[in-house]
Structure 1
Amino acid sequence: MVVGTVKRVIMGLNRKTYEPCGFCFVEYYDHESARQAHTYVNNTILDGRTIHVDIDDVGFIVGREFGKSSKTGGQIHDDVREEYDVGRGGFSTTKLAEIYVSTHAPTASDRNSDMHP
């Protein structure tokens, strides 16, 4: 289905690596085409991923192509997601930290072994 003529596409980039980070801005020549994209493309599945379409009347501003995460340079969602997503590099940085702490935290027996008789 064609929803309108695309004026330009700006890929969202990781601020630190300059790699695509899972979003883009699509500009149409008219508002009706953007509305149709929202109506017919929003919540569809592409390559196993849900496509989300938001209408942004502000339009593209230089700098918005970079992810908002101050931790990773990508999307904020990538910092907090719980699920493993190979297409986004595995687990989020927050989840990886939780896994690391849970697997490397000292146990009671470790603490007891530090005690001297």
Structure 2
Amino acid sequence: MSNTPLATLAILLALALAGCDQKPPEAPPTLPRVERPVLALNLKPEATLRIKIPRAALVERGGIPGVFVLNEAGEARFRLVRPGRTGGTQVEVLSGLHGSETLVLGDLAAVHDGTPINIPGTADKRR
């Protein structure tokens, strides 16, 4: 084919029309809403160096340790954390939390990144 502007235009038009018969991508499936308790961390700035959370709040997804943090839209978002010492029912978090998050607790097996969360009753608040 020659290197003329008309040939280039024909190639571009053919490429643009090549995918016209395809269906638009489907929306991702919505995750079911689950009811889980939460723990609101409201730590003072000097306490954020040693954040302790319930050991049950710590999960692993794909071998990566993390917690589920509740966002403003009421969805659980996986947050990578670096766990430290574990003592009894508490685990120290060395990095990944700021001390003002709301953690999702309870049975976290069915909770995934983006799962909508219903909060039963009132949240446990720690200071």
Q: TM-score, normalised by structure 2?
A: 0.20
Name the one with the larger strand percent: 2
Name the one with the larger helix percent: 1
Q: TM-score, normalised by structure 1?
A: 0.21
Task: Give the number of the structure with larger relative contact order, counting CA–CA contacts within 8 Å between residues 6 or more apart.
Answer: 2
